[in-house]
Amino acid sequence: MAQTQTATAFDGLRRAYEAAYNAEDTAALGELFTEDAKLMPPNGPVVEGRAGVVAFYQAWFDQFTTNISIGTDETLGLGDLAVGRGTFTAKLTPKAGGDTMTLEGKYMNLSQPQADGSLKLCRHIWNLPMPEPGS
């Protein structure tokens, strides 16, 4: 996949992810992942497969009303794969009540091109900044 095609396809994937996440639409999120996808959330076990990804997000949306904004810093086409890297800001309001939390972090995605020119996520990892030990 050429770099321009990769950037365009990744932008479409990013926008679709952002829209599905903000709509709390687990079915739409699931469709953005390959069947054998792996989700790697911070401080948690690896979530395996599309069904696992959908269950992860459903548990998340059961707890929070969400809004996410995602930026892309870099996209790379690497043969049959595409890599996207960037930052995000997520606002989470507990459905059980409480103050809205703002999370800012970084992500990296590994995606596979599909026959229609789109990308599907096969690996998705994100992290949140933590204070240095002892600070």
Token pair, residue 96, equals 């059980």
Question: Which CATH class for the 3-127 domain?
Answer: alpha beta
Q: Which of 60, 3, 52, 35 is nearest to 122 (CA)?
A: 35
Structure-block tokens of residue 41: 């959330």
CA–CA gap between residue 72 and residue 43 (Å, rounded): 23
Q: What is the pLDDT of residues 42-96, one digit of tens each?
A: 999 999 999 999 999 999 999 999 999 999 999 988 888 889 999 999 999 999 9
Whether the CB-CB separation of 84 and 75 falls below 8 Å is answered with yes
Confidence band of 1 (pLDDT split at 50, 70, 90): low
Q: Please give the structure tokens belonging to residue 122.
A: 């096969």
pTM beyond cutoff 0.75: yes
User: Higher pLDDT residue, 113 or 27?
Assistant: 27
